[in-house]
Chains A and B, each alone.
Chain A
């Protein structure tokens, strides 16, 4: 019997055991590098892609066992296409589809704790097993008085494991993203803050409602209604959005016009949030968008919302503007404010970083520079990858004694790359509307 007990305790629950899990992956990844270079001696043409692929597989398989925030980080990395080689992305995008579900008794318990009733007492029907898994929860389908509802339930203990999970991810992020430690710590604080917010379901309901009301005038968008009486700390009940995920929808061969329409709705949605609301749905993950049968775009999951501080907004978009009207001094000030350069830099360093960041931002701002932009154009994306690759391998960046770039930029960049990437998948050509001052 003692043996049996040991087995039960061997589930990676404690931090030490989770760490062990990561370490074993670390060893594997290290091994992959060794193998790669060994093969390379024999076959110098061997692509780095192959190495990335085997790394991604090993990392993914250990991350998927961990669930919770580690999975979230994996997803996030999968979004940051500018930073991540393609091979990693494919593995990571799988991450969201495969967390082991909560048992029904635990669902019942969560209901009793949050709403003092069981699902059967509240709803007319309630699916016993989850119909969808999210990184920090799962979704059940329910009906009440003929209405179809989605009920999202959070895994227990997620909020508590955020910080320790992030610490565990650190060594991997260092290696994968090619960041130096200072830079990483700088970002990790921001990531931790967002992740903790994401575990707060009450906040999520509030924000969902706020943003969906503020965006209700945009054509071809549809938001679910949220139900307070059936929501709590760990439960959110909202309308079920019927339709297809973007990938599935594309398989039905929609016309270019339809694709443009969906793409335009997406662009307008983000345009309004960034420039008018100054807070943005910072999770442009394909799973959060559903194309409905009537051709409208349903938007779900406002777990990750980034509030854009005014001074960051001014500086960031001043750089994106096509003809920068800034003189050298003003430009320096903007770079200063966005923390791209600092007093500690030598003049040479300053010039170098300024150049690099200017290139990066003007590339990111390219769709803003014309009235209409064709996102089907892969050359634009290749340029982004190429630049990301060059920067992450640059010696100057690796040596940098300090973090570069404001932490706010992390989620804004992620949002834009995510949006561009979605539009690229849609092959949409759209009117890139922008506020007057950016014209």
Chain B
């Protein structure tokens, strides 16, 4: 207890310190620490104290993802034009900013996720919190889109739009990890194209007309 208060007065809060030590461990060793015991020993902290902030490494990673998201959103909202954006542009802006923030953590993320990037479908547990927060954010975008009629409401499907955007976020992440082009230009292009496609699909399309027509024929035959 004594050490903790001492640290608090001299330095930043331990939660932040744990996250930073964890990141630097991964950067230096290319993998996570063997155990929480070893990790806390390394950073000269009592294992017991560690548990008052996190209970597992997953918890730390989860916090890092949330931090990245928070940073992205605050950077986005600093842009004056952001409120004027259409839903499509908001989501594009989100991804472009997100990728920029990710760039600052690229080595760390590559060390942790490069090997498992092929199993994209399996969402690691530490992404769950990020996913939840993202879905909250995307539901705002989607709601706005529906109001402005940029996005068409469809039975059943509409509820899955958020999920679709989430899958897109994972796709972009995976693409970015493998991107070798300077300044990750290809990721930019991939974002642009995939988001345009997604919003085109969610918008009013020939398929809606077709279904409407089919329904009409069915009901009136």
**Residues on A close to B: CB < 8 A?**
1-2, 4-5, 7-9, 11, 13, 100, 102-106, 108-109, 113, 118, 120, 155-157, 160
**Among B85, B121, B164, contact of A104 (Cβ-Cβ < 8 Å):** B85
The 8 closest A-B pairs by CB, nearest first: A105-B93, A156-B185, A157-B185, A105-B92, A156-B188, A8-B194, A11-B193, A109-B96
The CA-CA distance from A1 to B169 in the complex, in Å, is: 13
Known pairs A108-B96, A160-B182 / 12 extra A-B pairs, C-beta < 8 Å: A4-B164, A9-B171, A13-B190, A13-B193, A104-B92, A106-B96, A106-B191, A106-B192, A108-B79, A118-B80, A156-B188, A157-B185
Q: In the complex, are the beta carbons of A104 and B197 less than 8 A apart? A: no
Q: Establish whether residues B164 and A103, one from each chain, have CB atoms under 8 Å apart when the complex forms.
A: no
With A7-B201, A156-B188 in contact, do A113 and B183 touch (Cβ < 8 Å)?
Answer: yes
Per-position 1/0 for B79-101, Cβ under 8 A of A: 11100010011001100110010
Residue of B nearest to A13 (CB): B190
Q: Is the CB of B88 within 8 A of A109?
A: no
List of B residues within 8 angstroms of A105 by Cβ: 85, 89, 92-93, 96
Contact, CB under 8 Å: B79 / A8: no
Determine whether B163 belongs to the interface, using a CB cutoff of 8 Å to chain A. yes
Contact partner of B121 (CB less than 8 A), chosen from A2, A120, A155, is A2
Q: Is the CB of A1 within 8 A of B186?
A: no
Q: Which residues of A contact B88 (CB under 8 A)?
A: 103
- Please indicate the chain A residues that have their CB under 8 angstroms from the CB of B198 in the complex: 8
**With A5-B171, A8-B198: A109-B188 Cβ-Cβ less than 8 Å:** yes
User: A8 with B81: in contact, given A1-B167, A13-B190, A102-B192 (CB under 8 Å)?
Assistant: no
Q: In the assembled complex, which residues on chain A have CB atoms less than 8 Å from the CB atom of B97?
A: 109
Contact in complex: A106, B188 (CB < 8 Å): yes
Q: Which residue of A lies closest to B84 (CB)?
A: A128
Q: A7-B197, A7-B201 are in contact. Are A108 and B93 (CB under 8 A)?
A: yes
| B166 and chain A: residue at smallest CB distance | A1
Query: What is the interface of chain B mostly: helix, strand, loop, or mixed?
Result: helix
Separation in Å of the A127 CB from the closest CB of chain B?
12
Query: Once the chains bind, are B188 and A157 in contact (CB under 8 Å)?
Result: yes
Contacts of B201 in A (CB 8 A): 7
Give the docked Cα–Cα distance between A100 and B193 (Å). 10
Indicate if the CB atoms of A157 and B96 lie closer than 8 Å. Answer: no
- Nearest A-chain residue to B186, judged by Cβ: A157
Partner of B171, one of A8, A103, A120, A155: A8
Is there contact, CB below 8 Å, between A156 and B80?
Answer: no
Interface size bracket, B side: 35 or more
Rounded to whole angstroms, the CA-CA distance of A13 and B171 in the bound complex is: 14
A-B contact pairs, 15 of them (CB 8 A): A11-B194, A13-B189, A13-B190, A100-B196, A103-B89, A104-B92, A105-B89, A109-B96, A109-B97, A120-B81, A156-B183, A156-B188, A157-B186, A157-B189, A160-B181
Q: Is the CB of B192 within 8 A of A103?
A: yes
Q: Interface centre among A7, A100, A106, by most B CB within 10 Å?
A: A106
Q: Give A155's nearest chain B residue, CB to CB.
A: B189
Do the beta carbons of A103 and B168 come within 8 Å of each other? no
Indicate if the CB atoms of A108 and B81 lie closer than 8 Å: yes
CA–CA, A118 and B89, complex, Å: 15
Is the pair B92, A8 in contact by a Cβ cutoff of 8 Å? no
| Docked CA distance A100–B92 (Å) | 16
Q: What residues of A have a CB within 8 angstroms of the CB of B163 in the complex?
A: 1
Q: Which residues of A contact B81 (CB under 8 A)?
A: 104, 108, 118, 120
Residues of the A chain whose Cβ atoms lie less than 8 Å from the Cβ of B167: 1, 4-5
Interface positions, chain B 91-129, Cβ under 8 Å from A, are 92-93, 96-97, 100, 121
Query: In the docked arrangement, what's the CA distance between A113 and B183, Å?
Result: 9
* A13 to B168 Cα, complex, angstroms: 16
Contacts of B188 in A (CB 8 A): 106, 109, 156-157
Q: Are A106 and B168 interface neighbours, CB within 8 A?
A: no
Q: How far is the CA of A160 from the CA of B182 in the complex (A)?
A: 9
Contact with A along B117-145 (1 / 0, CB 8 A): 00001000000000000000000000000
B193 in contact with A106 (CB, 8 Å): no
CB distance from A196 to the nearest CB of B (A): 14
Give Cα A5 to B85, complex, Å. Answer: 25
Complex interface: chain B residues within 8 A of A4 (CB) = 164, 167
Q: How far is the CB of B99 from chain A (nearest CB, A)?
A: 9
Q: In the complex the two chains form, what is the Cα distance from A106 to B188 in whole Å?
A: 8
Give the most central of A4, A8, A106: most B CB within 10 Å.
A8
Contact B121 A160 (CB under 8 A): no
**Distance between Cα atoms of A1 and B123 in the complex (Å):** 13
Smallest CB-CB separation from B190: which chain A residue? A13
Contacts of A5 in B (CB 8 A): 167, 171
Q: How far is the CA of A1 from the CA of B131 in the complex (A)?
A: 15
Contacts of A157 in B (CB 8 A): 181, 185-186, 188-189
Instruction: Name the A residues within 8 Å of B192 (CB-CB).
Output: 102-103, 106, 156
Closest chain A CB from B173 CB (angstroms):
12
Do the beta carbons of B185 and A160 come within 8 Å of each other?
yes
**How many Å lie between the Cα of A1 and that of B165 in the bound state?**
10
